[in-house]
Amino acid sequence: MTKHRVRFEPVEIEIEADEDETILEAAFRQGVLLMHGCKEGQCSSCKSFLLDGDLQMDRYSTFALADYESEEGYVLLCKGHAYSDLDIELINYDEDMIRAGIPIGLVDAEVAEIADLTHDITHLRLNGSMPFRPGQYADIQVPGTGEWRSFSMANRPGEGRLDFIVKRYPGGRFSGLLEGTLRLGDPLRLKGPYGAFTLREKSDRNLLFIGGGAGMAPILSLLAQLRDQRVRRPAVYYYGARTERDLFHLDLMAGFEAELPAFSFVPALSHDPSYAGEKGLITDVVDRLAGDPAESDAYLCGPPPMIDAALDLLERKGLPREHVYFDKFTTTAHQE
């Protein structure tokens, strides 16, 4: 099956499409919500503009797309198939929603691995597949209840498994189960993907990641994406922890530093005066070291107080608010 890359402007989202599926179907399959109505080529809700590439359409209503519009380059995504890589400009879309990830699917998975990363952070691997975009998260059902907890995927999509980083809280509804209750092979139900914490690929600004705690998960996924796509944008990841025993995945970070052309990882400890590296609150460290970040895209993921402090700091430093990304659901949902 021939696959083609389809890129949507101005939202900078990319998907893959087979020749035998419509572009709308392909987008759905990969969790991209495009405005649509009838899916029958009649209502014109999915009318878009073809910037470049070979797109051919099945039968549609000429009321939805008049010949003169078709000649100008307008297309209907619910009837369009990609026969080459495509660039498509969306006309009818809601910026807040397009990244929300549709269709939200229910996925049955099973526990494949549970391992301690630190004294209170656990690596949880599930066998099961869910399409998602790096940086997105899923809701995991607390078994036997109607409650759900949100966790970001730490791996790349399409690997047939889902990795999570879970901070354990005493008495945590879900995280408490990781202390001996959940076993390998246990079933878990997931819903997702959700979230807009995804890489704005078209930007050529520097990348500034700031995080702490289990908030490393979506950033790991984004770093893997940067590596796989050979992105050359300069990137720094400031990661805050209390003491040295709270640090983990240092080997992975060293790997990214070696593989990415311009990436550095800067851990900082707030409660360990003897630490050889950076010391103090992570926002203070950024303040000190980041110089002029105004020309950056900032991605934040960590506990809410850290997010708030980082937002203030970045605003002070002149980084436009629209270049700061964080996910308000995962930042709070990590707290149980």
CA atoms within 13 A on the CB side of 313: 23
Residues 267-306 that bind other proteins (CB under 8 A): none
Exactly one of 25, 49, 57, 272 binds other proteins (CB under 8 A); which one? 49
Please, which residue, 42 or 129, has the CB nearer to other proteins? 42
Binding piece for other proteins, criterion CB under 8 A, among 46-54, 155-163, 181-189, 228-236? 46-54
CB 64 within 8 A of CB 44: yes
Which residue in 98, 104, 125, 290 sits closest to 198, CA to CA?
98
Contact 79, 113 (CB under 8 A): no
Q: Indicate whether 141 belongs to the interface with other proteins (CB under 8 A).
A: no
Residue 102 in the binding site for other proteins (CB under 8 A): yes
18, 61, 176, 336: residue in contact with other proteins (rule CB under 8 A): 61
Letters for 177-196 (x = contact with other proteins by CB under 8 A, - = none) are: -----------------x--
Answer for which of 20, 59, 68, 171 binds other proteins (CB under 8 A) is 68
239 binds other proteins (CB under 8 A): no
Counting residues that bind other proteins (by CB under 8 A) gives 38
> Is 326 among the residues that bind other proteins (CB under 8 A)?
no
Closest separation in Å from C-beta 31 to other proteins: 10
Residue type present at position 294? A
**Does position 130 bind other proteins by CB under 8 A?**
no
How far is the CA of 187 from the CAs of 28, 112, 140, 190, 193, in angstroms? 26, 10, 11, 10, 18
Could you tell me the two tokens for 30? 């990969």
HSE toward the beta carbon, residue 251, CA cutoff 13 A: 1
State the Cα angle at 270 between 136 and 293, rounded to 5°: 55
- Tell me, rounded to whole angstroms, the distance of Cα 152 from its chain centroid: 8
State yes or no: residue 64 binds other proteins (CB under 8 A). yes
Between 9 and 120, CB nearer to other proteins: 9
Nearest residue (CB) to other proteins, 63 versus 277: 63
Q: How far is CA 210 from CA 222, 241, 301, in A?
A: 13, 12, 7
Binding site for other proteins (CB under 8 A): 28, 33, 35, 37-40, 42-47, 49, 61-64, 66, 68-69, 72-73, 89, 91-97, 100-104, 194, 329
